[in-house]
Amino acid sequence: MNRRAVLKYAGLSAATAAIPEPMISFTAAQSGAPANTESGVTAFNQVGYLPGKEKISSVSTPGTGALSFQVVRNPVPGAPPDAGQQPVFHGNLTAAVLDQASGDPVALADFSQVTTPGRYRLVVQGRSSEPFSISKSAYSDALTLSMRAFYGQRCGCTVDLGGGYSHPPCHLNGAYHATSGRQGVVANHGGWHDAGDYGRYVVNSGISTGTLLWAWELFAEALKNLSLNIPESGGKVPDYLAEIRWNIEWMLSLQDQDGGAWHKQTSEKFCAFIMPQQDNLVSYIIGTGAAPYKSTCATADLAAVAAIAARCYSTYDSAFSQRCLSAARRAWTWAVAHPNVPFSNPKGVVTGGYDDKDCSDEILWASAELWRTTGDNQYEQSFLAGVDALPPETAIWSPAWPGVAPLAYWTYALAERHGSEKLKSRIYRKTAEAAQQLISRRSSSGYGNTLAPEDYIWGSNSVAANQSLLLLIANHFQPNPQTFEAALGNLHYLLGRNCFGVSWVTHVGTNPFQHPHHRPSGADNIDAPWPGLMSGGPNARPSDSAANTLPKLPPMRMWMDDQRAYSLNEVAINWNAPLVFLLAAAHQSGL
Ligand SMILES: [Zn+2]
């Protein structure tokens, strides 16, 4: 756990720290205070709820005494003025309890009994909320937008999300960096821009792409008909897998002939806040600076992802599936032969490091995925050999880019082929224990999330989403309504049930945040940001100068909607990926 806590966002920290702030100009609106900080926020999932599931709003600073609330139907356009004002539900707020994470006294309005599909508003203390839905397909649009955001992150091709959110091909000029052991120019091979910057990093692509492919394997019913309106739409591969392939192709292009993978492809420093096609810094393939030039963590992550891809694409494109499997085998062989080649930024390179010194969990994950895909004994033996050093009892928690051991264990347990039943039992037991711990935390959270105070770190919203991933895996092993509701609880938190009453996904909900640290959003001359992107969220220990203007506040309050505040409000592919996973689970449960 400590390793994760220490390392978790070290790479993103480095990824964004060097932004030349004087080059950023701000309007008054762009440097605004946190949204909705006034007292009396009625916070709930602004998108809505599934009919049969829990529906609880958190009302901050509600005053004293018993207070009632109502749920009313939202009038349809053209209806008489008083139409819909007839309450469909009356309830009483619970007594207010101090919420430690926010410092707010919070009362709860439970309207889970409202199950009839429709549009509603909450009325608390005479104040009517914005409307929300109760619907089996409540999360359909949010799922589409958050997945389509990956198309918006594409590098090397024309991107057009509609509404003016577009750019021509970018970063067409690539080259081998002196640290790569090679020289010469390289063509653009695609991939997704990592975050608010335009770098591409194999390690962070690893967990992001792996998470998305896992969502496909677990929630295909929700994803197979997803219409993303991307250039590949209408082809033989479902849109969801076609979008992911864009990034896999880039990851494969970072594999050298000997099987190893270079760590990243970025410029030496970050560009200004400009559109990607205006960034003329050379996009370098960057290595470790000495033989063997490739890094272990990147190579093992590539092996894991390519092994999953071999499974996911086999029924749609067997040639691509075979290419992925071959790449996975060669990457695994390289990683096992070079288990301790770390990466850190060479001199003169200041883009994201994603420098993880311990790659044993990445090798564990690669071995487990390759065994699940092929059944080959050598991969299972490699996996089992790593168990004692990283036992499931200490390794299973929510995953993050430097800590992928939980993915290794879960894929072993999810495999249809026979493995060690004894080890699988340990995996089930520990996963259930971890889920129970999260469920317990939630019961003491005024806003219904599963975050502990120490979880409010850089990218805490992705910690919440990844804790939901853990809960959903636990629920897959042993279905339990309480476990599933806890997973949804973090979705409610992310989409509005938080102390700011803000949706942390752009263009989703009635009060979404507006100013992500995201270069296209800042540089495109459109007021609203690019759609479907999740903010990193509150960070009790922010590390940028804009965020440091905040006074010391309870951890959930340590956030501001400010483009400059990269340690509070950046976006990243490894944050959107568990959001998509969670939305896919939620959407599938309504089908
Ligand atoms: Zn690009």
Q: pLDDT above 90 covers what percent of the chain?
A: 89
Phi, psi of 408 (to 5 degrees): -60, -50
pLDDT of residue 400: 98
Q: Residue 303 pLDDT more than 70? A: yes
Q: How far apart are CA 171 and CA 98, in angstroms?
A: 50
Cα 523 to middle of ligand 1, angstroms = 14
Average pLDDT over residues 137-160: 98
pLDDT of residue 84: 60
End-to-end CA distance of the chain: 36
Cα 500 to middle of ligand 1, angstroms = 33
Cα 329 to middle of ligand 1, angstroms = 29
Closest alpha carbon to 287 in 333, 254, 258: 254
The tens digit of pLDDT for each residue in 308-350 reads: 999 999 999 999 999 999 999 999 999 999 999 999 999 999 9
Phi, psi of 319 (to 5 degrees): -65, -45
Average pLDDT over residues 265-274: 98
Cα 522 to middle of ligand 1, angstroms = 16
* Contact yes or no for 120/134 (Cβ under 8 A): yes
* Contact yes or no for 156/190 (Cβ under 8 A): yes
Q: What is the DSSP string of 267-312?
A: -SS---S--GGG--S-EEEE--SSTT-S-HHHHHHHHHHHHHHHHH
Cα 233 to middle of ligand 1, angstroms = 21
pLDDT of residue 77: 72
Neighbours of 116 (CB within 10 A): 10
In the annotation, is 561 catalytic?
yes
Beta bridge partners of 58: 43, 108
The tens digit of pLDDT for each residue in 410-456 reads: 999 999 999 999 999 999 999 999 999 999 999 999 999 999 999 99
pLDDT of residue 306: 99
pLDDT of residue 126: 84
The tens digit of pLDDT for each residue in 25-78 reads: 222 223 333 433 345 789 999 999 999 999 999 999 766 666 899 999 987 777
The tens digit of pLDDT for each residue in 77-118 reads: 777 666 667 799 999 999 999 999 999 999 999 999 999 999
pLDDT of residue 16: 38
Cα 308 to middle of ligand 1, angstroms = 25
Cα 156 to middle of ligand 1, angstroms = 5
Cα 140 to middle of ligand 1, angstroms = 29
The tens digit of pLDDT for each residue in 340-377 reads: 999 999 999 999 999 999 999 999 999 999 999 999 99
In the annotation, is 570 catalytic?
yes
* Contact yes or no for 186/175 (Cβ under 8 A): yes
Q: Which of 167, 517, 518, 587 is catalytic?
A: 517
CA dist 139 → 213, 223, 327, 375, 470 (Å): 19, 12, 36, 37, 20
pLDDT of residue 80: 67
Q: How far apart are CA 287 and CA 81, in angstroms?
A: 66
Q: How far apart are CA 296 and CA 261, in angstroms?
A: 8
pLDDT of residue 457: 98
Cα 398 to middle of ligand 1, angstroms = 30
Cα 198 to middle of ligand 1, angstroms = 6
pTM value is 0.94
Cα 167 to middle of ligand 1, angstroms = 10
Q: Residue 10 pLDDT more than 90? A: no
Q: How far apart are CA 86 and CA 80, in angstroms?
A: 12
Q: Which of 54, 197, 239, 369 is catalytic?
A: 197
Give the pLDDT band (50/70/90) at residue 20: very low
Computed over every residue of the chain, the mean pLDDT equals 92
Cα 170 to middle of ligand 1, angstroms = 4
Q: Which of 256, 362, 380, 561 is catalytic?
A: 561
